[in-house]
Amino acid sequence: MVKAIKIDNLKYSYDERSLFSDFNLDIDAGQWVALVGHNGSGKSTLAKLILGLLVAEQGDIDVFDERLTVETVHHVRSKIGMVFQNPDNQFVGATVADDVAFGLENIQVESSEMPQKIDNALTIVGMQEFKNREPHTLSGGQKQRVALASVLALQPKIIILDEATAMLDPDGRATVMETLQKLKKQFGKELTLVTITHDMDEATLADRVVVINDGQKILDGTPAEVFSQRKALHENGLELPFANELAFHLNEKPNKYMDERELIQWLSTLNK
């Protein structure tokens, strides 16, 4: 199995404070991995280490069999697209199309090939009809889909989304997650997705969920495996996805008929 990302024996500290020590993680090509953990657990640091924005004190990071070093960092980075949390910090172009063009210009794509590449990328994320719009006139979810298009145009093998839906309203979140599901279908093994998130409902969409805390891997498995570990998740400050939490409580539901009012009252006591 081809490994998109292989992390061996990683060690990293911020000012004497050890965050990762002997951390290992392999991600198969084409896999969608949700990296979850509460605030400060080390998720964004891990993304920065993979991108070579931070340098590990010890250990190896390989991206599609290429070892990350000072010499290879630019080449390794070209295989990875990043989408960040704040949709407003990601635009450089005056229009949506200019924005997608910017990255293509940076990698010296011929200007004659540009319109087709821009249209393709925007079509994949369902934003083609907005190509002449000014980015600030878009909703949060639309902005994040444009950010995804800008990344996709560069044909990365891996896309890392760091809390890319955290600032969006529920509709925006839903459209971004639908877009990711569509990408997964369309690109299959050609695209590896890493979604860094607090949102457990989003994590259920991934192929695999890796829970980290204090730089340690706490749980690692399919969503069904990880979300059956309610106690371990709670101990690490995390909740179950809503549907799993509800199923857990329904199992424990008082074994009696409830009318609608009683049911609503009982539901409102969950998670308290």
Ligand X SMILES: Nc1ncnc2c1ncn2[C@@H]1O[C@H](COP(=O)(O)OP(=O)(O)OP(=O)(O)O)[C@@H](O)[C@H]1O
Query: 210 pairs with which residues across the strands?
Result: 35, 220
163 is catalytic: yes
114 vs 232, which CB is nearer to ligand X?
A: 232
Distance CA 92, CA 135 (A): 9
Q: Does 31 bind ligand X (CB under 6 A)?
A: no
Residue 254 phi/psi, 5-degree rounding, is -50, 130
Ligand-binding annotation for 40, yes or no, is: yes
In the complex, least distance from residue 206 CB atom to ligand X, rounded to whole angstroms: 17
CA within 13 Å, CB half, 15: 0
Considering only 21-29, 42-50, 58-66, 89-97, which stretch makes contact with ligand X by CB under 6 A?
42-50
97 vs 158, which CB is nearer to ligand X?
A: 158
Q: Does 63 bind ligand X (CB under 6 A)?
A: no
Among positions 5, 7, 10, 41, the unique one binding ligand X when judged by CB under 6 A: 41
Among positions 1, 16, 39, 132, the unique one binding ligand X when judged by CB under 6 A: 39
Q: Report CA 29 to chain centroid distance, whole Å.
A: 15
19 vs 27, which CB is nearer to ligand X?
A: 19
Report residue 81 as tokens: 């697209």
Alpha helix (H) residue ranges in 110-169: 114-124, 140-152
Distance CA 225, CA 236 (A): 16
Site of interaction with ligand X (CB under 6 A): 14-15, 19, 37, 39-45
